[in-house]
Structure 1
Amino acid sequence: MKKYFALALATLAFWGVSRADNPIVQTHFGPDPAPMVYNGTLYAYVGDDIPGFDFYYMTKWHVLSTTDMVNWTDYGTPISLESFKWARDRAWAAQCIERNGKFYWYVCAQSNKNDMAIGVAVSDSPTGPFKDALGKPLIINGSWSNIDPTVCIDDDGQAYLYWGNGSLFYVKLNKDMVSYSGDIVTVPISVESFGGVRGNKSVENPNKDMYVEGPWFYKRNNLYYMMYAGMGKGGETLSYSSSNSPIGPWKYQGKIMENQKTNSFTNHGGIIDYKGNSYLFYHTGLLPNGGSYGRAACVEQFTYNPDGTIPSVSISKEGPKPIGCINPYKRVEAETMAWSEKCSISQNEKLGVYVSSTRSKGYIKVREVDFGNQYPKSFSASLAAGVDGGILEVRLDSVSGPVISSTQLPRTGGWDKFKTFTSELKHKVTGKHDVYFYFNGQNITLGRELFNFDWWKFQ
């Protein structure tokens, strides 16, 4: 039996049983990804589309993190429209940056004056809690173009905040990161600087592209980059310009992503280096029930050309290769996952974030779990159920792989009454595996909620 089990594992490993891991989060729609690296961890700040409406109906933002580029931990919603007394609607794209141990999250929202405004929230932690730093917008002037803020701190300490829809603007932020000096500057847009300009009918110098919205401003190897959503056939591209100065003049360089089957008219991206690799973040509407108003963050690895230009990047179902692994002998939050189906994320002040709304035949996939050379003997999980909760199965290397642990979950006294359940492993396991937490609703009405799941650990 042991020999047969080892052969089965070897066969699964040989065939590389896996599935798509883009988008990076599936429990909610998280568009407009803005990556940030801090203390060896990559964070992604995303929005929260509410599908089913013919508009970008968004009321809050989420924080995700990874150390291996394949498993992402969801920290829930540290800020929302309710966090800003001046905001009433349209919690659109945002970006967070660290300075002197503080984290500044620049957001845009429709103000109570019925225009778009840019505000800033601050925290001592990249995952919050955040609070409105000013109690009022940082940028408000009656314009509907005050959207999609992007921020970068130059090597000399000067911080710049860019934003804009249709037009591009910037200010120089003060060192406190919540005020600015000087006037709002409007960036000149031309065919030479951003590939095109609205209303251009020149035959000699026609549009190649056009700045639309969603700027992403950063510096790399003494070159300044401005990526943005450009205009392509049937939807937005990701295009970019570069400069030798943080305030231009800008020179149009071309399109990074176009003519991709994203199932979304818009695109909004971010670029960052992490652990020696370069990554492009973007969003698609490819999740079930997704679309232009139900978008989710994705990521691709790429390599700059020797001259610093950015190559064309295509979307993939697989996403980047792993650059780390999960230690199963330390507590792992259940909301850390590479892929999931038939479950969601909930949070409250007492418990924090946990996996909820699990349904029969759903699962959580965690990649690159490294059991090492000494096999574990038992598995523990923190679970809660208001009624008889079904079965949590631990499977290896595929959703239909060998079951190494099975926990029959009774009522725990309520959906928020978590208890730790421990079960002996059925097989010896060593080395690296993808681990699937499978939700078995045997003898339970199909579609009924099974249990909530907080954390897991092997012993």
Structure 2
Amino acid sequence: MRLTSVLFTALCSLASLAASQAQTAPTDTLHAPPPALPGLYADPHLAAFGDTYYLYPTTDGMAGWGATSFTCWSSKDLVKWRNEGVILDLPRDLTWAAKNAWAPAIATKNGKYYFYYSAAQSIGVAVADRPTGPFKDPLGKPLVAKGQFKGQMIDPMVLVDDDGSAYLYFGQGQCHVVKLNADMVSYDPATVVEFKPPGYNEGSFAFKRQGKYYLMWSEYDTRDPRYSVAYATASSPLGPFTKADHNPVLKGRGVVQGAGHHSVLQVPGTDQWVMAYHRFHIPGGNGYNRETCLSPMRFDAQGNILPVLVFEVVKPTKIKKPTPVARP
């Protein structure tokens, strides 16, 4: 009787697992879910400030990636997005670059918001009092200039660690990381660490979870249908990073092609994670016509990133207000 009960429980567990997998691994790969944003946008950086989510993408849809400005989008639930308009216009707001506005990122510190971006194959930084800008150039020159280091000086990303230290990751063809000064707009060039994980091309993104540092990046070229995302881990934000055994963690499938150049967000107050990325526009898209998507990202018990399903969309998720701490 006991054996029969155990067997019945095991069969129920297997049935439940199979049902769960059936829900998250669709067999129909010809009908992809709609993109998160309307229109052509790529290289999305997803962030959360206060009770609001924000997306900072590259404006897409032109040969040669010739965009000249950046927009910001806001949402209360990760599903309905509002266009907050242009937050940085290169010809209007910069003196050193007028085009090739690519791959932005944002970080906050000192009560300010720091917007890092690619322009004219260099990396700039702009500062604002609000996540939606307006952003102003505090330097009047690139933060990282074209040709300053090996590779192409694009695709910035900043990780602010638990102790307030901030680290800038950047580079196409070669990965670089450097600790920023407290002002968030300067660094010591002599301390830049250069390395290239196996398969690394561009779009580095770093985050920390349960004391472990994760470095993610895009492999292949953004015009290649095989464009995908891989990752490595380390015990320090400066590395050395060891590439995980099971990669890539994001790749196209079926009608979804060119899935990559992502960012990752931990929903505040939870261990729920979301990946923002772009794919070729459906139908008929390519490396110049891409659209932004959001999908859940999960970990196993050992902290390995599980494959992200490009046919799974995020559910409406509001940011919960922190529970007040009762005073004695």
What is the CA-CA distance between 1:265 and the residue it aligns to?
Answer: 4.2
The one-character-per-residue Cα deviations of 1:27-65 (angstroms, maximum 9, x if unpaired) are x311101111111211111110133x3x22222111112
What is the CA-CA distance between 1:132 and the residue it aligns to?
Answer: 0.9
Q: Distance in 1 between matches of 2:280 and 2:219?
A: 18
Q: Distance in 2 between matches of 1:130 and 1:45?
A: 13
Aligned pairs for 1:14-413 (under 5 A) are: 22-26=34-38, 28-51=39-62, 53=63, 55-82=64-91, 83-110=93-120, 116-142=121-147, 145-183=152-190, 185-189=192-196, 194=197, 196=198, 210-231=199-220, 234-253=225-244, 254-261=247-254, 265=258, 267-275=260-268, 276=270, 277-287=272-282, 290-316=285-311, 319-324=313-318
What is the CA-CA distance between 1:68 and the residue it aligns to?
Answer: 1.1
The one-character-per-residue Cα deviations of 1:66-106 (angstroms, maximum 9, x if unpaired) are 22121111101111222211013211111011112100000
**Helix, strand or coil: the match of 1:183?**
helix
- Indicate the structure (1 or 2) with the bigger Cα radius of gyration: 1
Aligned 8 A contact 1:33 1:47 in 2: yes
Aligned 8 A contact 2:173 2:202 in 1: yes
Moved more, 302-311 or 225-234: 225-234
What is the CA-CA distance between 1:236 and the residue it aligns to?
Answer: 1.5
AA aligned opposite 1:25: L
Q: Distance in 2 between matches of 1:162 and 1:304?
A: 23
Q: Distance in 2 between matches of 1:307 and 1:24?
A: 30
What is the CA-CA distance between 1:177 and the residue it aligns to?
Answer: 0.5
The one-character-per-residue Cα deviations of 1:351-381 (angstroms, maximum 9, x if unpaired) are xxxxxxxxxxxxxxxxxxxxxxxxxxxxxxx
AA aligned opposite 2:89: S
Return the TM-score normalized by structure 2: 0.79
Aligned 8 A contact 2:251 2:260 in 1: no
Q: Distance in 1 between matches of 2:296 and 2:220?
A: 23
Q: Distance in 2 between matches of 1:93 and 1:294?
A: 15
Instruction: Give the match for residue 18 of structure 2.
Output: none
Q: Distance in 1 between matches of 2:191 and 2:89?
A: 26
What is the CA-CA distance between 1:242 and the residue it aligns to?
Answer: 0.7
Q: Distance in 2 between matches of 1:282 and 1:145?
A: 21
AA aligned opposite 2:81: W
Q: Distance in 1 between matches of 2:226 and 2:152?
A: 19
What is the CA-CA distance between 1:149 and the residue it aligns to?
Answer: 0.3
AA aligned opposite 1:24: A
What is the CA-CA distance between 1:181 and the residue it aligns to?
Answer: 2.6
Aligned 8 A contact 1:30 1:62 in 2: no
Q: Distance in 2 between matches of 1:288 and 1:61?
A: 25
Return the TM-score normalized by structure 1: 0.57
What is the CA-CA distance between 1:290 and the residue it aligns to?
Answer: 3.5
Q: Which has the higher helix share?
A: 2
What is the CA-CA distance between 1:213 and the residue it aligns to?
Answer: 0.4
Q: Distance in 2 between matches of 1:319 and 1:255?
A: 19
Aligned 8 A contact 1:264 1:292 in 2: no
Q: Distance in 2 between matches of 1:321 and 1:44?
A: 16
- Structure 2, unaligned runs of 5 or more: 1-30, 320-328
TM-aligned CA distance change 1:81 to 1:260, over 3 Å = farther
Q: Distance in 2 between matches of 1:184 and 1:81?
A: 29
Aligned 8 A contact 2:46 2:276 in 1: yes
- Structure 1, unaligned runs of 5 or more: 1-18, 111-115, 197-209, 326-459
AA aligned opposite 1:121: A
What is the aligned residue count? 280
Q: Distance in 2 between matches of 1:259 and 1:323?
A: 25
Q: Distance in 2 between matches of 1:101 and 1:154?
A: 16
**Helix, strand or coil: the match of 2:300?**
coil
Q: Distance in 2 between matches of 1:162 and 1:312?
A: 23
Q: Which structure would you say has the larger RCO, counting Cα contacts within 8 Å and 6 or more residues apart?
A: 2
Aligned 8 A contact 2:276 2:295 in 1: yes
Instruction: Give the match for residue 22 of structure 2.
Output: none
Aligned 8 A contact 2:176 2:195 in 1: no
